[in-house]
Amino acid sequence: MYAIIRAGGKQAKIQEGDVLDVERVKSDGEVTFTPLLIVQDDGNVISDRDALDKLTVTTEVVGDSTGPKIDIFKYKSKTGYRRRAGHRQKYTRLLVKKIELPGATKKATKKESAKDKPAAKTESAKGKPAAKKESAKDKPAAKKESAKDKPAAKKAPAKVAETEEKEG
């Protein structure tokens, strides 16, 4: 079984016993996370937010560490502009103790009962006629303008008459 958690603005895929580095967490002892997704060994996926809010991932703080040094150097030629800075990210190392699924058996029974409910509805509905829904076939189609319905386009006056007036 594995879970996806969010820690420090990043997501991580974890299993029990994994060690992962996350951005600095200021706490000693245990840290708990709410999972974003859980995939069980049998292939069941839990992604419902309401169900995931009840689940927890418990981790233990192993220690602190620092990441690699990043050098920042800004330079513009011919102006004497030089800026030098650096950064070193702080990390907390966590050991995943357990991924808790307190209601795993309840969820299985809910899925089974959900499968039984539609079958029960169809058996009780045999005596009652089904309500008709309007389908696209029953509705009249929207009328399209055809070439016959459109007025004829105006024709430009003949130029022959203008040339006769100039001559005469």
pLDDT in tens, 18-56: 999 999 998 888 999 999 999 988 888 999 999 999 999
Instruction: Report how far residue 36's alpha carbon sits from residue 121's, in angstroms, rounded to the nearest whole number.
Output: 34
- Contact (CB, 8 A) for 23 and 6: no
Answer whether residue 125 is part of any domain: no
Asked if residue 76 belongs to a domain, the reply is yes
Residue 75: inside a domain: yes
**Which residue in the block uniquely carries the two structure tokens 């103790």?**
97
Residue 8 located in a structural domain = yes
Structure tokens at 152: 């004829």
The answer as to whether 120 is a domain residue is no
Q: Which domain holds residue 45?
A: 2-105
Residue 154's pLDDT band (cuts 50, 70, 90): confident
Question: What is residue 5's three-state secondary structure?
Answer: strand
Q: State if pTM tops 0.75.
A: no
* 80 lies in some domain: yes
Does residue 135 form part of some domain? Answer: no
The two structure tokens encoding residue 58: 């418990």
DSSP, res 29: S
Number of domains present in the structure of the chain: 1
Does residue 93 lie in a domain region?
yes
